[in-house]
Structure 1
Amino acid sequence: MTEQPVQPQTVLAVPVPPARSLGLAGAVNARDLGGYRTADGRVLRHGVALRSDGLHRLQEADGALLGALGVRHVVDLRSLEEVRDAGPDLMPGLAVAVLPLDGGDPLVLPGVDPDSPTLHHLPVHARELDIAAVLRRTVAECDPVAARAELGDGGAARMMIGLYRWFVTDRVARERFATVLRLLAEPAAPPVLFHCTAGKDRTGWMAALLLTALGVDRETVLADYLETNVRVGALVDTLVASYGTRGLMAEPELLRPIFTADRSYLEAAFEEVEVGWADFHDFWRTGLGLDDAVLAGLRKNLLEDLA
C-alpha cells in the first residue's frame, strides 16, 4: 500500500493546543508546530518543524535560544529585494548570502562551521502581486484617491486572496514549497526553521501544506494560521496607526487586510487546490511533484505516537 496524505477533515476532532512561541524578542511570530494531532492518532513532535517571521531583527539572546533548539536548516522564503531592504538573517553561525543583482534562483550555503545551520534561500516572489511594492507605491504617491481606488472596497483583501491562489497555481512557487517539504523529509534534517518576512503568508501556506500532508484536520490548520493575529496583533495596530500619524496615508486602515491573517485567504489557496486537482493526494503527486518516499520521510522525522 502506498503512502497517501490524509485527506483534510472538516470536523475538529481534538482541541487545538496553543501554538508554542519560541520566545524570540526579535521575531515574535516564531513558533513550534509541535503538538498538533493527526487523523491517525499520532502527534507532531516538538522542536522539529519551526515557523517564523524574518530573522533580521534577532537580538543576542534570541541567538542563544535558537542555538539551544539545535536548528540545522534555515529556509528563507523572502525575495531578493526583501532581503536587501531588511537585511540578512542574524542567526549565529548562519552564512550571509551574497545575493545576485537580479533573478531569484535557490541558493544553499553551509554554516560557518560544521555545527552551524545551513541557509536555504528559496525566494517566493509574485511579481504581479508584489504586496511590498504596493505598500511602497502607496506611501510614495501619498494620493488618498489612488490608495482608496486600489485598496478600498475590499481591494486589499482581493489582492491577498489572489496571492494565496498564486501560491497554488504558479509552478515555481509550488516547486519552492515542495523543496522545503523534501528538506523536512531528509534523514537527520530537522530541526528546520522556515520563514518569510511577517511569517504570515508564504510561511502560513508552507505550514498549512505540511500539517495537511501529515493528516492534521483543516480547522486545526486554519487555527494555526490565524494564530499570527494573536502574536502580532498589537504590532499591526501600531504599524497601521503609524501610517496615519506620520502623514503617510489619509486612511491607514486600508492597509489592515494586508497586515493580518484572514481565514478567507488560506481557504482560497485550498479552494485552488480543489479546482486544479482531484484531491490533496493528487496535488501532492502532480502539483508539488512529491512521492510516497517524501511523505514517509516526513512522518518518520516529525511524528510520534501519543504517550
Structure 2
Amino acid sequence: MTEQQTEIAGPAEAVGAVAEALAEARSLGLRGAVNARDLGGYRTADGMVLRHGVALRSDGLNRLTDADLDALSALGLRQVVDLRSLDEVREAGPDRVRGLPVAEIDSAELSATPVTVERTTPDGVTLHHLPVFAADFDIYVALRNALADRSPEKQRALLGDGRAAAMMIGLYRWFVTDPIARERFATVVRLLAAPDGPPLLFHCSAGKDRTGWTAAIILTALGVDHDTVFTDYLLTNERSAAIIENIVDSFGTRGLMREPELLLPVFRADRRYLEAAFEEVALGWDTFERFWQDGLGLDDEVLAGLRANLLA
C-alpha cells in the first residue's frame, strides 16, 4: 500500500485527472439500478489501473428488468454482497439476479446477522447478506416513521434546520467507529481479495452511503488519490438525480410531506459526509495503512490479493 494521507483533500487541483476519472467511471446501464457502475478505469499512484468488470458497486438489485438481468449475466458475476438491513430487504424485496439464491432472512433475530447462501450451480452466484445499520439511529427506519406519521411539525423536527445532514454525518462517522460495521466493510474487501472472489458486486439501497464508503476504502487502499475517490462518491448525484427528483416530488403530491425537500440531504451524496468518515479515520489511526491493519483487521496478504484481482 502506498502511504495514504487521511487528511481530507480540498478542491481538486488536478482538474484533468478528475475529469478523466469521471469519464472512466462507467455506468452498467441498468434501468432498474441506475447507480450501478464499475470501479474499473481508475488509476493508482504507482501507475496501475483498476480492471473493468471486476469490482462493481450498485444501488438495490430488487427492481431489475429482464434486460438488466441479461446485462448482469454477461458480466459473469460470482458474488453479490447485500449491505441492506433486514427491514430494507423485507420492504423492497430481495436481489433479483439470475443464478442468485434467495437468503432465508425472514426471522427478526437475523436482522443483524451475516448470512451467506452459496451458489447452487457451477455458474451460479453466491449471495452474502452483510447488514450494516445503526440500531440507535437507523436512518431507514427513522424516515419510514416520519413519512408514516405525515406530521409536518414532526418531520421538520427530525429533518429540518440541518438535522438531516447532521444525521448523515453521524452515520458516516459510525461507519468508522463501530467495530461491527468495520468488520462488515472488511468482509467485502476480503471477498474481493480472495482468489475466486471477483467479479463481485456490492450494494445497499441507494448505492450511496454504505456502498460509497466501501468503494472509498477499496480505492484508497489501492492508492487511488483522494480527489478521484471523492469524484467516484459524488457520481451518485448524477446517476440518481432523476429518481431523487421524482421521489421528492411524489412525496409532496401524495401528501406524505409538506416539505419534501427536507429529504434531499438524505438522498444526495455530500462531500461533507465522506469527509466525516475520513476524519474519524484520522482521529483514530495515524495513517490509512494503520486503519487498514488495526481498524479493519486486514493484512498485507489481503492487500496483495486485492491488488492481484483488481489491478492491471
TM-score range for the pair, normalised by the shorter chain length: over 0.9
Counterpart check, 1:112 vs 2:120: yes
5+ long unaligned stretches in structure 2: none
Could you list the runs of 4 or more consecutive aligned residues of structure 1 that deviate by over 3 angstroms after TM superposition? Answer: 8-13
Deviations 1:149-168 (A, max 9, x none): 22111000000000000000
**Aligned residue for 1:102?**
109
Counterpart check, 1:134 vs 2:142: yes
Counterpart check, 1:35 vs 2:41: yes
In the TM superposition, 1:184-195 aligns within 5 A as 184-195=192-203
Percentage of matched positions with identical amino acids: 64
Counterpart check, 1:217 vs 2:222: no
**Aligned residue for 2:58?**
52
Which among 12, 16, 26 is matched to residue 21 of structure 2? 16
Do 1:80 and 1:102's aligned partners in 2 also have CA atoms closer than 8 Å?
Answer: no
TM-score of the pair, normalised by structure 1:
0.95
Counterpart check, 1:205 vs 2:207: no
Q: RMSD over aligned Cα, in angstroms?
A: 1.3
**Aligned residue for 2:4?**
7
Do 1:35 and 1:46's aligned partners in 2 also have CA atoms closer than 8 Å?
Answer: yes
Residue 54 of structure 1 aligns with an amino acid whose one-letter code is G
Which among 87, 91, 94 is matched to residue 85 of structure 1? 91
Which among 278, 282, 286 is matched to residue 270 of structure 1? 278
Aligned equivalents of 1:5, 1:113: Cα separation in 2: 39
The CA deviation at 1:52 is 0.3
TM-score of the pair, normalised by structure 2:
0.94
Secondary structure, counterpart of 2:240 in structure 1 = helix
The CA deviation at 1:171 is 0.3
Do 2:82 and 2:204's aligned partners in 1 also have CA atoms closer than 8 Å?
Answer: yes
- Aligned pair count reads 301
Q: 1:17 to 1:247 in 2, by over 3 A?
A: closer
The CA deviation at 1:131 is 1.1
The CA deviation at 1:102 is 2.1
Do 2:208 and 2:269's aligned partners in 1 also have CA atoms closer than 8 Å?
Answer: yes
